[in-house]
Amino acid sequence: MVGLVMLGIAIATAASSPFVVPYPPNESNTQEAYVPPSRTHFLGTDVLGRDVLSRVLAGTPIALRVVGEVLLIAGLIGMFLGTFAGYLGGVVDSLIMRCADVFLSFPNFLLAMAIAAAFGASLENAMLAVGISLWPRYARLVRGQFLELREKSFVEAARAIGASNTRIAVHHILSNCIGPLLVQLSLDAALAILTTSALSFVGLGASPPTPEWGVMISDSRIYITTYWWMPLFPGIAISFVATGFMLIGDGLQDALSPTLRQRHYEAS
């Protein structure tokens, strides 16, 4: 419930940000640079005199867009390849899983950084890079579900009455993977925000003057000991949204796992 409240606040902020920002996010005013938090600028201003609160609010829809696009890319690729690997098996399964093992052998951020560097520095390429780096998680998850479910009696019954392979794979097996997929998606939402912000921080994501939280921290990192409010509040925004998604993921895992529910019941 706490995670849902936090996510609700983020969504409401993203929806209302064009109407509630006190100043244009990219409007510079060098005469008001380095202003600490005050009544005029609640979260202070940055080195160019831009209002930090306005930029943090304007960065919220960007963060939620990052989550949606990264998970869409990773989920679609992983579900497609995991379905093929789990249902067909044999050589197809071996090839897809060895490819997934190659991706998983690299740290996630380093792999995303290498892909983003190859594509070129931009927010779109950063999201694509993070999505590509995450697909093995979904491929292995869907494959495992297929290996478990394809021998079940309801699948055998569907096969016996002449259901096509496509119908069996999508309607009878893949539909039963929704629970684990939702848990994985909600947990990876936090990772998507953190990794994309980190790519922007090292110069491989969004570029200035985009009010993206990773860019804001990168631009103000040298002022952390003097003008602390510049990197602090974008960092708090990243932590807030990422924590909300992680709490939702933990809650979904508890709710959708009968084993965990039974353990909680026995413990209580």
pLDDT digits (tens, 9 = 90+) for 166-186: 777 777 777 778 888 888 998
pLDDT of 241 higher than 80 = yes
What contacts 63, CB < 8 A, 6 or more positions away? 10, 14, 193, 197, 212, 213, 237, 238, 241
Q: Can you tell me the distance from the alpha carbon of 146 to that of 167, in angstroms, rounded to the nearest whole number?
A: 14
pLDDT digits (tens, 9 = 90+) for 103-141: 999 999 999 999 999 999 999 999 999 999 999 999 999
Q: What is the third-level CATH fold of 66-267?
A: MetI-like fold (1.10.3720)
pTM score: 0.87
pLDDT digits (tens, 9 = 90+) for 59-96: 999 999 999 999 999 999 999 999 888 888 889 899 99
Distances (CA, A) of 74 to 11, 67, 71, 146, 189: 22, 11, 5, 18, 11
Q: Can you tell me the distance from the alpha carbon of 44 to that of 53, in angstroms, rounded to the nearest whole number?
A: 7
pLDDT digits (tens, 9 = 90+) for 185-220: 988 999 999 999 999 999 999 988 899 999 999 999
The radius of gyration computed from the CA coordinates of the chain, to the nearest angstrom, equals 22
